[in-house]
Amino acid sequence: MISINQLLTYQRKLRSNDYILLNQLLDDVEVGAFFETNDGKSIIYGFGQKQTWTEMPNATESIVFGAKSFDNQLDTGIMNGFWFEPEIIVVLEDDKLLSNLITIDACLKKVQFKNSQPVQIVEEHNENDWSSRVQSLINELKKQESIQKVVFGRQQQLQFSNTLSLTTLVPVLRKQKNIYHVMIKKGHELFITATPERLIKISHDHLETAAVAGTIQRGKNESEDDAFGKILLRSKKNNEEHEYVVRSIVQQLHDVTSTLHIPTSPVLLKNKQVQHLYTPIVGRINTNVSIRNIVYKLHPTPALGGVPQQKAMDYIRNHEMMTRGLFASPVGYFTRDNIGEFVVGIRSMYVNGKNARLFAGAGIVVDSDSQQEFYETSLKFQPMHELLEELSTNGCTNV
């Protein structure tokens, strides 16, 4: 359980309609957050705002939710970075509802369930020259040995027929298994991620992170899926890309940890659309090292920026068509006891009213193939497209 037990003064057994009411409350409040762990065992809601920041604060009296801008390029609204301390905290865990508000049940009774309309995509705009720009990047890498890898992103811009309802969206999002489900809301703006990648989890002095880099598609059956997995595990290009990330994480954590355990070789992390090379890394942090310090040290890893970091970031800034905002950035929460968890905002979508942007990126190295990288990024768009496809055929849902 998250370490704000003293604040969670109210506790009762979870009821069947709690999810519906809490999601409706997310629709009703101006500022809110939703964080579900990848094992589905813990959900944290934040409602309302006591304080807000554009940069991650150093400390809190309770809990802070938020997301950091990828590289501080000027964007709009929450995409510049947004952090808030909520008025109401609700934790769902071990078949229990816990809250800092002893009158939470009276608050939920006032929630009025509203029917939501199906949401259709009425316009879609893509970066049609992305593959040719990737080829230009590959040519640049062949000429410049000083840059080994650039994570190059592309975005899709969508327009919807109706605004999204969180009463509908959150249950549909939760159908995507074995990944984190995270949402930050401010007014008409939403940032939503269905990400497989944890940046950092800290509990007391225990640290957990992971290198996730190197990607291949899933197979149509178990035999084909295993074959693709073996190709990925043997791929020189993908293993080199993965090793960049492992080395960078170890280097960044070296002076803030007393111990680190790094497996000698990666394993497969399988999601619905793709499978990745995955190396879990655990350790113990030094005394008086804040979670903020570690978040800022680790971001961006080579899985999000490139190698060397500054040259890759410069290339991203100069050649990606749109600023990233919160895409590929740390998103999560931390508590007053320096405990928290942050994920990487990939497989993600930014929504402002009826307009949305989706993001996908691929690690480009000298051996990359531009058409294969385009296919890979298309797979990475699928979690949000599958979400929107279900929302286009269903209005209100009680899942």
Q: Which residues contact 117 (CB under 8 A, 6 or more apart)?
A: 161, 162, 165, 395
Alpha helix ranges (H) inside the chain: 18-28, 104-109, 130-143, 166-173, 222-234, 236-253, 291-298, 309-319, 370-393
DSSP three-state, residue 199:
strand
Given this model, what pLDDT does residue 65 score?
98
Given this model, what pLDDT does residue 4 score?
65
- pLDDT tens for the chain, 399 residues: list them: 455 667 899 999 999 999 999 999 999 999 999 999 999 999 999 999 999 999 999 888 899 999 999 998 888 899 999 999 999 999 999 999 999 999 999 999 999 877 788 999 999 999 999 999 999 999 999 998 889 999 999 999 999 999 999 999 999 999 998 899 999 999 999 999 999 999 999 988 899 999 888 889 999 899 999 999 999 999 998 898 889 889 889 999 989 999 999 999 999 988 888 899 999 999 999 988 899 999 999 999 888 999 999 999 999 999 999 999 999 999 999 998 889 999 999 999 999 999 999 999 999 999 999 999 999 999 999 999 999 999 998 654 444
Given this model, what pLDDT does residue 41 score?
92
User: How far is residue 316's CA from residue 300's CA, in Å, rounded to a whole number?
Assistant: 12
Given this model, what pLDDT does residue 2 score?
52
Catalytic residue set: 149, 197
Phi, psi of 34, rounded to the nearest 5 degrees: -140, 130
Given this model, what pLDDT does residue 397 score?
47
Given this model, what pLDDT does residue 399 score?
41
